C-alpha cells in the first residue's frame, strides 16, 4: 500500500523517497505475482532512460470510439466531458492498452497543451463500468505509477534533489574564492 501524503511529509527527504520507491515496488511485485500476465511491464532500462531524457511520462486514459487511424479519442476518467484527440505519431502506446484503456508515454509539450490530462484519474467516473473494468483500471494505474517512478529514478541524483533555485552557483571548494 502506498503511504499517505501526511505520513510522507513528516519524513526527511531521503526516507520519504525510499518509502515511496518501496511502496511502488511492493505494489508492482504484488501485481506481477498475480495471474494477469497482460499487465507485466517489459520495458528495458534503456527505455526508462530514454523517456527520462525526453521528459516523457506515462498516462492512463480512457479510450473512446473514434474513426480516425491518426489519432485516438481519450478522456481522463471516462466521464461525460473533457475529450481530447491524441495524435498517435506523438505518443507511444504501451502493449498493456486495450479497447477500453490507453496506457501511453506522452511528451511534455502534449501534457502542457492539455493541462487536465497531466495526471491520470484515480477512479473511473460513471456507473457503466463493470467490476472487471474497474479492477483492470486500478491495476493499470499501478503500472503507470511504477513506470513513472522508474522514469523518475533514472534522473541524475543532483537534478532530483536540487532545482535551479537552490543549486549552488559555484563549487564550494575551501580557499578558492576566499577573500583575502
Q: Quick: pLDDT tens for 65-116.
A: 888 888 888 887 777 667 888 888 989 999 888 888 989 999 888 878 876 6
Asked if residue 3 is part of any domain, the answer here is no
Q: Domain for residue 146, yes or no?
A: yes
pLDDT band at 17 (very low <50, low <70, confident <90, very high): confident
**Cβ burial, residue 85 (10 Å; 0-12/13-18/19+):** middle
Q: What is the pLDDT of residue 113?
A: 80
- Cell digits for 95? 502493449
What's the domain count of the chain? Answer: 1
**Whole domain around residue 89: which residue ranges?**
10-157
pLDDT for residue 176 is more than 50: no
In a domain, 165, yes or no: no
Handedness of CA 17, 21, 26, 31 (dihedral sign): positive
In DSSP terms, 104 is beta-bridged to 59, 93
Q: Where are the beta strands (DSSP E) in 23-172?
A: 57-64, 71-75, 84-87, 92-93, 101-106
pTM for the whole structure: 0.65
- Local structure of 168: helix, strand or coil: coil
Instruction: Confirm whether 2 is domain-assigned.
Output: no
For the chain, the residue count is 180
Count other Cβ atoms within 10 Å, centred on residue 24. 20
Quick one: pLDDT at residue 121?
A: 66
Alpha-carbon distance of 100 to 52, in angstroms, equals 27
In a domain, residue 178? The reply is no
Give me the pLDDT at residue 21, please: 73
Amino acid at each position: 500500500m502506498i503511504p499517505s501524503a501526511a505520513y510522507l511529509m513528516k519524513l526527511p527527504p531521503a526516507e520519504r523517497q525510499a518509502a515511496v520507491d518501496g511502496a511502488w515496488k511492493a505494489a508492482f511485485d504484488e501485481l506481477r505475482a498475480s495471474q494477469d500476465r497482460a499487465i507485466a511491464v517489459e520495458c528495458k532500462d534503456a527505455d526508462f532512460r530514454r523517456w527520462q531524457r525526453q521528459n516523457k511520462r506515462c498516462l492512463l486514459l480512457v479510450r473512446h470510439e473514434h474513426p480516425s487511424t491518426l489519432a485516438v479519442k481519450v478522456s481522463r476518467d471516462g466521464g461525460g466531458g473533457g475529450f481530447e484527440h491524441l495524435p498517435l505519431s506523438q505518443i507511444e502506446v504501451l502493449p498493456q492498452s486495450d479497447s477500453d484503456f490507453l496506457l501511453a508515454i506522452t511528451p511534455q509539450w502534449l501534457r502542457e497543451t492539455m493541462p487536465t490530462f497531466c495526471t491520470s484519474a484515480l477512479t473511473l467516473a460513471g456507473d457503466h463500468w463493470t467490476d472487471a473494468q474497474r479492477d483492470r483500471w486500478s491495476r493499470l494505474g499501478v503500472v503507470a505509477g511504477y513506470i513513472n517512478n522508474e522514469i523518475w529514478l533514472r534522473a541524475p541524483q543532483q537534478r532530483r534533489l536540487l532545482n535551479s533555485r537552490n543549486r549552488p552557483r559555484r563549487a564550494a571548494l575551501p580557499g578558492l574564492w576566499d577573500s583575502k
